[in-house]
Amino acid sequence: MQPSTTFTVKQLIEAPMTKEFTAAIEAAHRQIPFALFAFPGSQDYQFFANPNGELPGKPFFIINKWNVSFNGSLRIYEELDADAFLGNADQYPAQPCQSPLQTPSTTRDDYLQKITALIDHLKERGGKTVFSRIISEENITIDLMQLLETQFSSFPETFRFFYYIPQTGLWLGTSPELLLDYDRETGCFSTMSLAGTRETVNTQWDDKNIDEQNMVARFISDVLTSAGAQFTVQRCEDVCFKPVCHICDLFTGTLKEDNCPELLNRLSPTPALSGFPVRTAIEEISQLESHQRECYGGYVGYVTAAKLKCFVNLRSIKLTESGYCIFAGGGVTAHSVAEDEWKETENKTMILRKNLAEATH
């Protein structure tokens, strides 16, 4: 993935932008594994590149693809910070990004037809299935720096991430959903149930969205109880992600033993990204969706010897040399209306599509 204009490393360093962003653009340009991220509410952007492969014992950025176990996760190790990478970037030649995109976009007619059939099916079995679509375009030029800056600044209360590794290609996302925050020294953890969607202009939650949230909250509660966790649940203020809001329940407590891999396997994918019952919904997704979710619906995060903090990979986009693929979905139940579900995916991607259009030439 190249910037829309070619710069030397020296010119990029002197440009009015953070060196972490500059390093990320250069690493993407040269197809060097890297991660750039910031935690919710923070402007402290962390960057590191990992040109030399596995570095056991080092902190790492974790990438877990859709419906893959913890042991199948990918890692980008904390090897070179922005200064160290930029100081030596010219030793890595620029390379075009060859990671394939899924095209064409999901058509409105196909989406509505499948959603309608799914709603009829859920009227018989009950529960929920999260159905997603893709929005893709090729043969365009993207100003990657502009997109990165505007997307990150649009959602400061989310986990903002931008990464490249050959197994996944280049991804950008802004996730409002915490999967697991765990402190190995104290045993303290937090996670959240984030489901139900309405436009920010609305004032009341309807039964359909409340039911969606309750399914996710019950699932998480059952997982934590079976893991022997001691925890409390607090209904928080709605989490807003312009122009939509979600219902949020925050779970906090302690774990008796450090078994993060198993807990992550049981939490992900949550019913917020799959449905309920989870395994039934995943099977329905594999039958209904004509695209592969890849990283969408999995999780990303930062792991050190002492702490782990992971977020669901959503509100995300895959980028290539000359195109993009946006992933978006919504929970479908027996009470869903097909047109409303389409509108929900439009709303969830509205700001990203706007920022992308402004950065496209």
Whether 4 maps to a domain, the answer reads no
Task: Report pLDDT digits (tens) over 109-129.
Answer: 999 999 999 999 999 999 999
Are the C-beta atoms of 33 and 51 separated by less than 8 Å?
A: yes
pLDDT cut 70: percent of the chain above it: 94
Distance of CA 78 to the CA centre of its chain: 20
In angstroms and rounded to an integer, the radius of gyration of the C-alpha atoms of the chain is: 20
Task: Report pLDDT digits (tens) over 153-170.
Answer: 999 999 999 999 999 999
* pLDDT-derived band at 98, boundaries 50, 70, 90: low
List, in sequence order, every beta strand (DSSP E) within the chain: 34-38, 46-49, 60-64, 74-77, 128-138, 159-165, 169-175, 178-183, 188-199, 230-235, 239-241, 244-254, 275-276, 299-303, 307-312, 316-320, 323-332
d(Cα 219, Cα 223) in Å, to the nearest integer? Answer: 6
DSSP secondary structure of 292-355: --TTTTSEEEEE-SSEEEEEE--SEEEEETTEEEEEEEEEE-TT--HHHHHHHHHHHTHHHHHH
* pLDDT-derived band at 243, boundaries 50, 70, 90: confident
Whether 54 maps to a domain, the answer reads yes
Residue 274 has pLDDT above 70, yes or no: yes
Task: Report pLDDT digits (tens) over 48-60.
Answer: 999 999 999 999 9
d(Cα 349, Cα 197) in Å, to the nearest integer? Answer: 13
* Domain region containing 79: 9-358
Whether 72 maps to a domain, the answer reads yes
Whether 69 maps to a domain, the answer reads yes
> Among 82-86, 160-164, 228-232, 257-261, which is the least confidently predicted range?
257-261
In whole numbers, what is the pLDDT of the chain averaged over residues?
91
* pLDDT-derived band at 33, boundaries 50, 70, 90: very high
Domain count, the chain: 1
Whether 188 maps to a domain, the answer reads yes
pLDDT attached to residue 9: 39
Whether 1 maps to a domain, the answer reads no
Whether 339 maps to a domain, the answer reads yes
pLDDT attached to residue 322: 84
Give the predicted TM-score (pTM) of the model. Answer: 0.93
pLDDT attached to residue 200: 79
Domain containing residue 201: CATH number: 3.60.120.10
Q: Is 55 helix (H, G, I), strand (E, B) or coil?
A: coil
Task: Report pLDDT digits (tens) over 282-340.
Answer: 999 999 999 999 999 999 999 999 999 999 999 999 998 789 999 999 999 999 999 99
Q: What six digits make up the tokens of 109?
A: 């007619």
* pLDDT-derived band at 259, boundaries 50, 70, 90: confident
Residue with more model confidence, 6 or 123 = 123
Whether 3 maps to a domain, the answer reads no
Quick one: angle between helices 19-30 and 144-154, nearest 10?
Answer: 130
Average pLDDT of the residues in 269-286: 96
